[in-house]
Chain A
Amino acid sequence: MSSRAIVIGGGVNSLVAAHMLSRSHEVILCEGDSPEDGLGWVPPQIARALRLEGLKIEAPDPWAVAPLPGGGRLELWRDVARSAESIRRVSPPDAQKWPQFCTRMARLARFLEKAYLEPPPDPLGVRFALRARLLGRQGLVDLMRLLPMSVAELLDDWFENDTLKGLLGAAGVMHLQQGPRSGGTAFRFLHHHVGSPPGVFRPPRSNLHDILKKRSGIEVRKQPVRSIRVEAGRAAGVVLAGGEELPASRVLSGAHPRRTLLELVDPAWLDPELVRGLRHLRERPVAARVTLQLDRAPGFSALVHAPSLDYLERAYDDSKYGRISQRPHIEAYCDAQHRVEAHVQYVPPGTDTPALGDLVAAVLSDQLGDAVIESLEVAQPQQPHQVELSLDQALWMRPLPQLAHYRTPIQGLWLCGAAMHPGGAIAGAAGYNCARVALANRT
């Protein structure tokens, strides 16, 4: 019994954590509802640790196309030189800067990448300082200057073409209740670059979630958890919604930290400061997912509709006052069956979403041409990071400084969801880091 572990949640982080633990523990995964968009770089460390088989990474090439105002499309390829050629048609100066921009951003993303596959660094630690020094002078200056900046400022520093800046800038605000002129969005731009080759500024999609769900080795209960049992300050197991009690010596929760610590656990166990911090965590979902079925191929596999930074900013303005963007930012992925998955931003929660399919079709009408469109599904706005990934809720601050190391004040209870470092879009990394911390901790 003492080697039994329970993992709460069916998201990719919970699944990774569960399978990491299953090598030395009997693991029961208690699944709630957990939609996943499959978006996120899969770190090779995780693939190795789990000996993943059948992992498929979708890496469209061009990784993004954007309609140009005068007709035609700007195409950005996985090959830096080929993108530069494409950019040259709209702006020779931008094309010239592209390779250097890609190199400088890639260097910073690699720095984050290293910090993402282990518990958050100690900002005052020698190790962190030495690693930062390895970036070199230019790299370190770039990093310190870039992190707090707005993605609009970053791109204005480098480029002139609106289509290019809109396409790139959208990566800085994806799933964030901020516009491209807000501080801290350059950090988000880098976050979405982590794991991708130089010049690719969108995380890939993978079937990681699917293959982990099908994988054997753990017991799965399709029931949400009603509460976590705590005995003498230690996690002792969980009670399922149906009333069944499952004793365990370790509990890893992929649920939102607020739900885990204030609802599943009796908050009387917690320090009032921590309770206050949990209540103040920001999540603010901003993007809905719309699925459309076309009757023919639209001629793109990854389309970004964000014609300029101002366009994105205006889309954000609507949401500040609680409205759906009249002209939203859309990223559309089309598969071989002509099914289009569209990321639509900004859509504040609680707004009327059924008409979103029509809105997407209207905004993309030039790109979809005469294709017959059927709206299949509109998914309500979700925050894939659970807790908004902003500089005050990132790294050693994520989700709160007291919880940043996956541990909770309750012994034997860990947090393993996207709310934990490094957040979403790095598939399974929070679960991987958490499992390693939990395994290193002898109970």
Chain B
Amino acid sequence: MRRAVTRYDAVVIGGGHNGLVCAAYLARAGRKVLVLERRERVGGAAMTEEVFPGFRFSVFSYVVSLLRPEIIRDLELPRHGLHILPLESTLTPLENGDYLAQWNDHDQNRRELARHSLRDAEAYDEFGRVLHHMARAIKPMLAMAPPDPTSLHPGELASLLQLRRYFKDLGAERFHALHKLLTMSVADYLDEWFETEALKATKSASGIIGTLLGPRSPGTAYVLLHHYMGELDGVFRAWGFAKGGNGSVSAAIAAAASAHGAEIRTSTAVSNVLIKNGKARGVVLESGEEIEGEVVVSGADPRRTFLSLVGEKHLPSELVESIRRFRFRGSSAKVNLALGELPNFTCLPGRGPHLRGAVSISPSVEYLERAYDDAKYGEISRRPYMDIVIPSMIDPSMAPPGKHVMSIFVQYAPYHLNGGWTDAKREALGDAVVDTLSQYAPNLKGAILHRQVVTPADIERIVGLSEGNIFQGELTLQQMFFLRPAPAWSKYRTPVAGLFQCGSGTHPGGGVMGASGRNAAFAILGAGA
């Protein structure tokens, strides 16, 4: 029997959320699209899995906040099953037995802060306003292909002038505030505002996520802003939890893509991009099968896309050099626990509303800095930073009745560990996490039914993110905007005609945001494909 050769308008490599977003937008514009996913299900790092019978986990990525609202709207994601439940609070247990809680409710939050510092309670609203304004100021840049300041192309010059006018219109004060945010350390930045250690530490944690930098290193303040860009239902700052886990985010995007006619093939690994006469013609699967496409879009990270799927021989040496220098240095791990009972925090005993929010193990900036000290010399943090949620409290379908799942984001667990990652090291990481957390919730050890530890090496192996970096490359200033992933190739294009990039290794990158996928789709459609 002869198989009909189907020719696609676009073949998307990788069914991560950005690949799916890109595919959905292309399909919506009437293109014939095929998404190829190596694993048996789509979602990449945004996926839900029943790791232990009855216990479902967002194995990797675990909260939603950055997903662009225009994507939710354009793709009608709620209609396709996306349901986001808000996280109400962040609890930071302290080493002295007290705690600091941050609540979404303004007055409750103010009362709690005032308990620690009247000054901080006063400063908090102003801080929120400033960051909110900054986030708004930078927001239009998320949806724009970053102009290349080194180019002399008239189109580029025009968009540079436009950008310049935009900055001028911001006014000097905001421009300078933005400069500070881009160049300061998150610890120094917060020192200008607050005095409560736990507040500074918990806020500064967002600046170190996904990087191998400590909170005192310049360049960490900017990511604070990313976290103020989350705008669920129009409320800045709110973090949410997707009903059914983060896999349901991917599932909703996939459903939207399918509804627009995109095809999705899982368990289909791509071996390389098919290149003829310097132009991408399709892909070659690991099975040997060739699939033709007018354009090929890679959702893989820049290292995988250029050095493995394309290959050096098709690329200018300058780009190869840039990609080699692009830094990944994964530093985050996940510990997923199946619990027989809820953790009982000494500082706030019982089943209170705080268990429906996040718990942050970040008692002081020095605590985070010491966690970093271990990692920069290639060791697991002995006392790591953790961001914890108990999804079963918000969505009971995640665990059997009366039982719970706990998701623990851990930093630092460096990819480049001395002696490399082994099963013993993985368990040592799990032990460090459980031991540290047990100091604040002594019943935890006895409550654990199952434990899953996901190291950066596991993330690389399972999801395919180089060095396990959750952002497809560190989000540092020298790897952002027109430098993400490489100068001249930051606009989703590549030196290979017909080959595009759509992963978070491109601008603006990072988090379950989807902006890269969406921008890439517009770049492809704009190119007339």
Contact B150 A401 (CB under 8 A): no
B179-200 residues with Cβ-Cβ distance < 8 A to A are 179-180, 182-185, 188, 191-192
Which residue of A141, A280, A321, A392 is within 8 Å of B487 (Cβ)? A141
Task: Determine whether A320 belongs to the interface, using a CB cutoff of 8 Å to chain B.
Answer: yes
Contact B213 A148 (CB under 8 A): no
Task: Determine whether B325 belongs to the interface, using a CB cutoff of 8 Å to chain A.
Answer: yes
- Residue of A whose beta carbon sits closest to that of B151: A137
Known contacts A140-B149, A390-B218: A397-B176 contact under CB 8 Å: yes
* A91-99, A163-171, A177-185, A212-220 - the one binding chain B: A177-185
Which residue of B176, B188, B483, B487 is within 8 Å of A282 (Cβ)? B188
Known contacts A148-B183, A391-B183: A401-B172 contact under CB 8 Å: yes
Task: Determine whether B369 belongs to the interface, using a CB cutoff of 8 Å to chain A.
Answer: yes
Task: Determine whether A310 belongs to the interface, using a CB cutoff of 8 Å to chain B.
Answer: yes
Task: Determine whether B284 belongs to the interface, using a CB cutoff of 8 Å to chain A.
Answer: no
Task: Determine whether B373 belongs to the interface, using a CB cutoff of 8 Å to chain A.
Answer: yes
The residues of A that contact B220 with a CB separation of less than 8 Å are 183
Tell me the smallest distance from the CB of A364 to a CB of chain B, in Å. 25
Contact B327 A184 (CB under 8 A): no
Contact A148 B478 (CB under 8 A): yes
The residues of B that contact A145 with a CB separation of less than 8 Å are 478, 483, 487
A288-332 residues with Cβ-Cβ distance < 8 A to B are 310, 313, 317, 320-321
The residues of A that contact B184 with a CB separation of less than 8 Å are 390, 392
Task: Determine whether A124 belongs to the interface, using a CB cutoff of 8 Å to chain B.
Answer: yes
B471-529 residues with Cβ-Cβ distance < 8 A to A are 476-478, 482-483, 487
The residues of B that contact A141 with a CB separation of less than 8 Å are 150, 483, 487
Contact B377 A392 (CB under 8 A): no
Contact B377 A153 (CB under 8 A): no
- Residue of A whose beta carbon sits closest to that of B165: A124
Known contacts A124-B167, A182-B217: A321-B366 contact under CB 8 Å: yes
Interface centre among B183, B217, B476, B483 (most CB of A within 10 A): B183
- Residue of B whose beta carbon sits closest to that of A313: B376
Task: Determine whether A144 belongs to the interface, using a CB cutoff of 8 Å to chain B.
Answer: yes
Task: Determine whether B139 belongs to the interface, using a CB cutoff of 8 Å to chain A.
Answer: no
The residues of A that contact B476 with a CB separation of less than 8 Å are 148-149, 183
Task: Determine whether A157 belongs to the interface, using a CB cutoff of 8 Å to chain B.
Answer: yes
Which residue of B175, B218, B373, B376 is within 8 Å of A148 (Cβ)? B218
Contact B164 A157 (CB under 8 A): no
B78-135 residues with Cβ-Cβ distance < 8 A to A are none
Contact B149 A144 (CB under 8 A): yes
- Residue of A whose beta carbon sits closest to that of B217: A182
B448-487 residues with Cβ-Cβ distance < 8 A to A are 476-478, 482-483, 487
The residues of B that contact A397 with a CB separation of less than 8 Å are 176, 179-180, 183
Task: Determine whether A105 belongs to the interface, using a CB cutoff of 8 Å to chain B.
Answer: no
Task: Determine whether B147 belongs to the interface, using a CB cutoff of 8 Å to chain A.
Answer: no
A174-229 residues with Cβ-Cβ distance < 8 A to B are 178, 181-184
Contact A157 B188 (CB under 8 A): no
Cα of A396 to Cα of B176 in the assembled complex, Å:
9
Task: Determine whether A146 belongs to the interface, using a CB cutoff of 8 Å to chain B.
Answer: yes
The residues of A that contact B445 with a CB separation of less than 8 Å are none
Cα of A147 to Cα of B218 in the assembled complex, Å:
11
A-contact 0/1 string along B370-399, CB 8 Å cutoff: 000100110000000000000000000000
Contact A320 B167 (CB under 8 A): no
Known contacts A137-B150, A149-B478, A153-B327: A184-B377 contact under CB 8 Å: no
Known contacts A124-B164, A391-B183: A178-B487 contact under CB 8 Å: no
- Residue of B whose beta carbon sits closest to that of A145: B478
Task: Determine whether B216 belongs to the interface, using a CB cutoff of 8 Å to chain A.
Answer: yes
Cα of A211 to Cα of B176 in the assembled complex, Å:
39
Which residue of A146, A150, A320, A392 is within 8 Å of B369 (Cβ)? A320
Q: Which 3 A-B pairs have the closest CB atoms?
A: A183-B219, A148-B477, A391-B183
Chain A interface residues (CB < 8 Å from chain B): 123-124, 129, 132, 137, 140-141, 144-150, 153, 157, 178, 181-184, 280, 282, 310, 313, 317, 320-321, 390-392, 396-397, 401
A sample of 28 cross-chain residue pairs with beta-carbon separation below 8 angstroms, ordered by A number, consists of A123-B179, A124-B167, A141-B483, A148-B219, A148-B477, A149-B476, A157-B325, A178-B218, A182-B213, A182-B216, A182-B218, A183-B218, A183-B219, A184-B183, A184-B219, A280-B192, A310-B377, A317-B373, A320-B369, A390-B184, A390-B218, A391-B183, A392-B184, A396-B179, A397-B176, A397-B180, A397-B183, A401-B172
6 extra A-B contacts, CB within 8 A, seeds A148-B182, A183-B219: A147-B478, A178-B218, A181-B217, A183-B185, A183-B220, A401-B176
